[in-house]
């Protein structure tokens, strides 16, 4: 009796990478920006203006960067598929032998590999070569627009937390409250991304929390130095 495959795997991580990168960058960059400005003893209005500019500029930068980067990746994928399509039209028998060789290298006997290669080819030759030779899935190619939109929205959502924190916190504790809220948000993001990616949680937490703390600490120091030297 056959058993159903019930293990959960992450199939399409493009959107997840864009979302995590965007949210993480939004939290860290805007928190560092507003904390640095606050450390220079700026007014609440100046802090909010700087933070809002950071949100808009950062979201647009993330969107453009993701679109350009993922578009380049998509171009490479489509070029590889075009070459494979041409080779299949030019010499299908050689491509069949190549596919059988790939399957054989994965542990199948030569006879089984040839039979499987022929069956894959009869079903969808391009899809078979894309998956086994190029490690691509025809319905899972990179999506530049999706990556751009997801990263921009995630950046804005992530940036909203430190901007709100610095805006409502009392002046005497606004840096510490914003820093604490930011680190909690980063810990949540690290845990979430690790959970969705079926990866260990602690390494993800260390990366994002320590990186965020370092960024905020440096900008706070720079802001304090600037405020002292110009005060």
Tell the residue number behind the tokens 């937490």, with chain if given. 205
Instruction: Assess contact for 215 and 28: CB atoms under 8 A.
Output: yes
> What is the mean pLDDT for each group of 10 consecutive residues in the chain (231 residues)?
45 70 91 93 90 94 92 94 93 90 89 90 90 86 91 94 91 92 90 78 86 92 75 50
Identify the pLDDT of residue 13: 59
Q: How far is CA 84 from CA 79, 93, 139, 179, in A?
A: 9, 13, 16, 52
Going by C-alpha positions, the residue among 201, 144, 221, 185 that lies closest to residue 28 is 185
Identify the pLDDT of residue 136: 87
Identify the pLDDT of residue 224: 85
Whole-prediction pTM value?
0.78
């Amino acid at each position: 009796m056959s058993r159903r495959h019930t293990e959960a795997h992450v199939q399409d991580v493009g959107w997840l990478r864009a979302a995590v990168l965007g949210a993480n960058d939004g939290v860290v960059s805007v928190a560092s920006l507003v904390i640095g400005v606050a450390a220079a003893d700026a007014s609440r209005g100046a802090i909010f203006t700087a933070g809002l500019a950071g949100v808009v500029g950062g979201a647009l930068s993330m969107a453009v960067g993701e679109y350009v980067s993922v578009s380049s990746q998509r171009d490479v994928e489509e070029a590889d598929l075009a070459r494979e399509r041409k080779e299949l039209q030019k010499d299908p028998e050689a491509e069949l032998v190549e596919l059988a060789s790939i399957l054989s290298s994965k542990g199948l006997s030569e006879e089984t590999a040839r039979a499987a290669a022929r069956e894959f080819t009869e079903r969808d030759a391009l899809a078979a070569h894309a998956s086994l030779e190029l490690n691509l899935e025809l319905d899972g190619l990179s999506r530049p627009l999706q990556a751009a939109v997801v990263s921009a929205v995630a950046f804005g959502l992530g940036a909203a937390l430190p901007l709100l924190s610095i805006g409502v916190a009392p002046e005497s504790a606004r840096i510490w409250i914003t820093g604490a809220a930011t680190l909690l948000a980063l810990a949540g993001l690290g845990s979430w991304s690790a959970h969705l990616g079926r990866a260990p949680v602690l390494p993800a937490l260390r990366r994002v929390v320590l990186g965020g703390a370092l960024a905020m600490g440096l900008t706070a120091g720079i802001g304090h130095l600037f405020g002292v030297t110009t005060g």
